[in-house]
Amino acid sequence: MAFVELEVKEHIGVLTINRPEALNALNDEVIRQLDQVLDSLDLSVLRCLIVTGAGQKAFVAGADIAQMSGLTKAEGEAFGKLGNDVFRKLETLPIPTIAAVNGFALGGGCELSMACDIRLASDAAVFGQPEVGLGITPGFGGTQRMARLIGMGKAKELIYTARNIKAPEALSIGLVQAVYPAEELMAEAEKMANRIAGNAPIAVRACKKAINDGLQVDMDAALVVEEKLFGSCFETKDQTNAMTAFVEKRKHDPFVNC
């Protein structure tokens, strides 16, 4: 892939948007390549995926304005659907995902980060949805995910004003979970990914599904979702391995994803 790279480090994948000369801006080709890479992931091996951008300036600086400027209404809707379909595929991956936001995350870049489960930022990161200043709305889920992540009022403020925010403010409003010096970001992201990967992978996947699916229904239905996923874990070798070791006061054997 010319614009999207995947590196596998044992149970961790690092997916990099690699278009630094354009600040990793998303055009239709980048989005399609992202789709293909997501389809190629070996989920029997990978237990966590890190998403980041190439270079020192940008995670993803947004969608490609030059490409978008001439779109018709129908073409704009189709471009939005393309991005939404691929970002939704990322959001619903069975394994956890971490956005390592190393610079500008504006427009589609902010939306890409919000499609991940966890966002870690460098102290140089900048977030924003500047679309209304360009005569459009966010088109890749920004109006929906931001309100769910940081609350409706704050999301409306940031989207209506098109105001960019730096990493400390993003942390204070809950848009990101941690901020690190730029030179430490990837090491910290990999440290978290490896900690996740060290836990029982089927149980971790079940937790992700329980949280994501449960938030779409009322509390009573959500608790049923959790109960069924909780019960399903008792059919796994990992559960038998870990609980037997706990009772016997010894370290469990490596988890085997089954």
User: Is the pTM value of this prediction over 0.75?
Assistant: yes
pLDDT in tens, 111-127: 999 999 999 999 999 99
pLDDT in tens, 176-232: 999 999 999 999 999 999 999 999 999 999 999 999 999 999 999 999 999 999 999
pLDDT in tens, 217-244: 999 999 999 999 999 999 999 999 999 9
pLDDT for 1 beyond 70: no
Q: Is-contact 199 238, C-beta < 8 A? A: no
**Active site annotation includes 131:** yes
* 89 to 34, 86, 183: CA distances (angstroms): 10, 5, 30
Q: At the topology level of CATH, where does 201-247 sit?
A: Lyase 2-enoyl-coa Hydratase; Chain  A, domain 2 (1.10.12)
Residue in the block written with tokens 């848009």: 175
pLDDT for 109 beyond 90: yes
**Active site annotation includes 111:** yes
Q: At the topology level of CATH, where does 4-197 sit?
A: 2-enoyl-CoA Hydratase; Chain A, domain 1 (3.90.226)
Q: Where are the domains of the chain?
A: 4-197, 201-247
Q: Is-contact 58 20, C-beta < 8 A? A: yes
Q: Helix (H) and strand (E) counts for the chain?
A: 11, 10
pLDDT in tens, 86-100: 999 999 999 999 999
Q: In the prediction, which pLDDT does 29 show?
A: 96
Percent of the chain having pLDDT more than 70? 99
**Annotated active-site residue in 21, 29, 91, 131:** 131
Helix (H, G, I), strand (E, B) or coil at 147: helix
**Annotated active-site residue in 77, 111, 184, 190:** 111
